[in-house]
Copies of this chain bind each other. A is one copy, B any other.
Amino acid sequence: MKVTRNTTAKTAVLEVFEKSKTALSHTEIQKQLNNVCDRVTIYRILDRLVNDDIIHKISNLDGTVKYAKCNHSHQRVHIHNHAHFSCENCHEITCLETVKPSYIMPHNYKVNEINFTLSGLCPKCLNSNI
């Protein structure tokens, strides 16, 4: 097994996640990093963090991909079975850690990951658009 190193770039990326209340895209992270490292490096750091279960990937209906910190890394079985909300107005994506879908699968499927994303208007945009 590979050893994971704590580099300055990785630390910087983690700080960005720590400060953010919403999920972030590669581009959004890059903008906040002010040339701390190369574009490619960010991609590779994100891959590593996902692999190490430190962040998780969120795929939205419009094709955008974002990442957010995991607040449940202590769990034995690390599955991201909570919902995400994507606002059509402000385009912010937030984890709804309390919203967990229940469903019944047909037999003979092995489920490893789930991606449950709801889109519409977030509370902030819903109130300001009356």
Residues of A that sit less than 8 Å from B by CB: 57, 59-63, 65, 83, 85, 88, 96, 98-123, 126-127
Contact = CB atoms under 8 A, between A and B. Distances in A.
B123 A118 contact: no
A7 to B, nearest CB: 25
B118 A105 contact: yes
A108 B126 contact: yes
B112 A88 contact: yes
Contacts of A88: 112
Contacts of A111: 118-120
Contact of A113 (B61, B99, B106, B110): B61
A64 to B, nearest CB: 9
B123 A108 contact: yes
Contacts of A61: 57, 59, 113, 115
A88 B102 CA distance: 22
A92 B122 CA distance: 32
A99 B60 CA distance: 20
A98 B105 CA distance: 9
A104 to B, nearest CB: 7
Contacts of A98: 106
23 contacts: A57-B61, A59-B61, A59-B63, A60-B115, A61-B115, A63-B65, A83-B103, A88-B112, A99-B104, A101-B102, A101-B103, A101-B116, A103-B116, A107-B123, A109-B120, A110-B126, A112-B120, A112-B121, A113-B119, A114-B119, A115-B115, A115-B117, A115-B118
